[in-house]
Copies of this chain bind each other. A is one copy, B any other.
């Protein structure tokens, strides 16, 4: 489920299909912010004329929409998988955390873009709404975890869902594809942190 979303290039120009262009475009958005990124800056970075860029994308908003679809689509797929639909809630949460960490690593630039949206356009508002729905789905799992007794009684399920996504999302700040930690190792570490980050000594209550 971690493959890139297939986007059919409008034209078979090698090296300039929409997917590889999008990688560069998202980097421009993340370097300067979406609002400050001009078509001129994008064309420069791609080494293309503006009209060549327009051959592949109708507008800056279309670039944004396709980029956001990539990461939102992946995250929604994680929740749609069988492991997130049936069985103990605590194991569903485990599945979502492990897979979401990997999405965060593999789609790092796309998730960064999503996390920095300002909500100044319809495309942004729709993406933010989808993000809210993902948090609501995780929250339902925490509700179920509490009902089955696998969430501490004093932990609010809504806060637990937000904290968990906050933790996963923070990976985009410092994850490096060249290591030292692999996405799999980070997924395990995040899960360990969620489970019991700090040991409570019996003689020294941490509260």
Contacts and interface: CB of A to CB of B under 8 A. Distances in A.
Interface of A: 30-36, 88, 90, 93-94, 116, 118, 120, 145, 149-152, 154-156, 159-160, 162-167, 169-171, 173-174, 181, 186, 188-201, 204, 206-207
A198 B141 CA distance: 12
A15 to B, nearest CB: 27
B194 A198 contact: yes
Nearest to A94: B206
B195 A197 contact: yes
A149 B204 CA distance: 12
A167 B163 contact: yes
Nearest to A34: B33
A155 B207 CA distance: 20
A154 B190 CA distance: 12
Given A165-B170, A197-B163, A192 B120 contact: no
Contact of A32 (B94, B118, B150, B192): B118
Nearest to A200: B195
The residue among A32, A94, A167 with the most chain B CB atoms within 10 A of its own CB is A167
B159 A193 contact: yes
Given A33-B33, A194-B197, A173 B166 contact: yes
